[in-house]
């Protein structure tokens, strides 16, 4: 099932220990509900790469965008 709101993504991921900032946090109405914020300020490690792949699975993204996260996972495992 494709989730279409950042709140829906949050509910799915929080049970797996992954948190995102939903778009609802950035406005007084639902104007930003289709946006979310994730931080890359944390150290890049395997846990971050795995969390990003779960996020990508939740929003059903594919293609070359995934290659960047495969690279991140490779870098984290090599460290």
Number of CB atoms found within 10 A of residue 24's CB: 18
Check whether 20 has a pLDDT greater than 70.
yes
Half-sphere exposure of 20 (CA within 13 A, CB side): 26
State the pLDDT at residue 75.
59
Q: Tokens 């490779």: give the residue.
A: 74
What are 35-74's pLDDT values in tens digits?
777 776 766 777 777 877 777 777 655 554 455 555 555 6
Check whether 15 has a pLDDT greater than 80.
yes
């Amino acid at each position: 099932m494709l989730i279409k709101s950042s709140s829906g993504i949050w509910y799915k991921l929080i049970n797996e220990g992954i948190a995102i900032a939903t778009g609802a946090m950035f406005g007084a109405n639902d104007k930003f509900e289709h946006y979310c914020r994730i931080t890359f300020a944390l150290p890049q490690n395997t846990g971050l790469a795995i969390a990003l792949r779960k996020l990508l699975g939740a929003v059903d993204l594919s293609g070359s965008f995934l290659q960047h996260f495969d690279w991140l996972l490779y870098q984290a495992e090599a460290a």
